[in-house]
Amino acid sequence: MKQNSVRAIGIEDESRKDSNLFYISQVDGLKEILNNDFDEWSNFDSWESISVQQWIFSRALEVYRGKKIDIKCDCCEQTNLLPSYYMNIKNEKCFGKKSVHMIQKIIDEIALAKVRRESDGTYSA
């Protein structure tokens, strides 16, 4: 997986030509989940909507398998595309950035699970 494989873009931002474009507004229930407090929305396993979990997990798998995706929010005119914007994710209001954070979190879990499977459980990575 490359560094900028998944990114959030605002209303006025253009999608990259080599990436798949997804719209937050087309995922029923995602905004409602991400509108909760950080402790609630950042706990993926506690989400009550299986379909929203599946949507996030599917995007994570796409990125893990080498595809690029852009997540277009409808709450920002433009997004700050610097990698440092994840440092203050607890205070973030943008649904696109929150979605990207969750996708990256799931990608990390997929990679960790792969390492554990390959090590046959004899040691923790």
Burial of 30 (0-12, 13-18, 19+ CB in 10 A): buried
pLDDT for the residue numbered 81: 57
CB 105 within 8 A of CB 44: yes
pLDDT for the residue numbered 105: 94
Mean pLDDT by 10 residues, the chain (125 residues): 80 93 96 94 94 97 96 85 63 91 94 81 56
Distance, CA of 70 to CA of 66 (rounded, Å) = 13
CB 24 within 8 A of CB 73: yes
Domain boundaries, the chain: 6-118
